[in-house]
Amino acid sequence: MIKVLFICLGNICRSPLAEALFNHKIKEKGYENFLNCDSCGTSDYHIGELPDERTMASASKNGIKICHRGRQLNRTDFRDFDYLIAMDDSNLSNIKKAANQHKTSAKNLFLMRSFQKNAAFSEVPDPYYGGVDGFQKVYEILDSSLDGFIETLEKNHPELTKK
Ligand code: 4NP
């Protein structure tokens, strides 16, 4: 099983949506027996909470089921996950700091938008303090970035497409 962890700051806006959308896409492709994912935040601000209601609304508007409770990145995540996918530069640096604190290293750590074709920017912007349209924008960025990420997984793991 290839395990992917999507990481943002609060784990209530961007990364739970990335998780839900990834699950939707891999199910459509029939990869659910080979891939799984989770999401978390680098902060402890929203542990145990459901995703932000604007995230829920954007998921349901786009026909995506979302089911997650906020949790914080922890030591075992560095061991248990094969890919760590950060939403922005600040997440990336927090993840590296956490790895150092836990005396480990972050393998296969990438920015989400590094997989987006023709990406205009390198970060998935934090929508928390903005309006509803920011959440739709995040949805669109995640949608195309995840398509690129799944293509990369197909290249890195040929067993996915050999069926
Ligand atoms: P997320 O958004 O990192 O995409 O979940 C945020 C959620 C909460 C906060 C910041 C960003 N906050 O400061 O509480």
Which has the higher per-residue pLDDT, 57 or 163? 57
Mean pLDDT of 44-71: 96
Q: Which domains does the chain have, with CATH numbers?
A: 2-162 (3.40.50.2300)
Q: Considering only the C-alpha atoms of the chain, give the largest distance between any 2 of them, rounded to a whole number of Å.
A: 45
Q: Tell me which of 8, 13, 37, 40 is the catalytic residue.
A: 8
Looking at residue 162, its pLDDT comes to 82
pLDDT of residue 107: 85
Whole-number Å distance, alpha carbon 32 to ligand 1 midpoint, is 28
* Cβ–ligand 1 contact at 11 (below 6 Å): yes
Chain centre distance of CA 38? 8
Model pTM above 0.85: yes
pLDDT surpasses 80 at 163: no
Name every residue whose Cβ is closer than 8 Å to that of residue 79 and which is 6 or more positions away in sequence.
104
Instruction: Give the whole-number percent of the chain exceeding pLDDT 70.
Output: 99
Half-sphere exposure (Cβ direction) of 20: Cα atoms closer than 13 Å = 24
Q: What is the mean pLDDT of the chain?
A: 96
Question: In the structure encoding, which two tokens stand for residue 137, read together?
Answer: 């924008």
- Which atom from ligand 1 is nearest to the alpha carbon of 10? 5
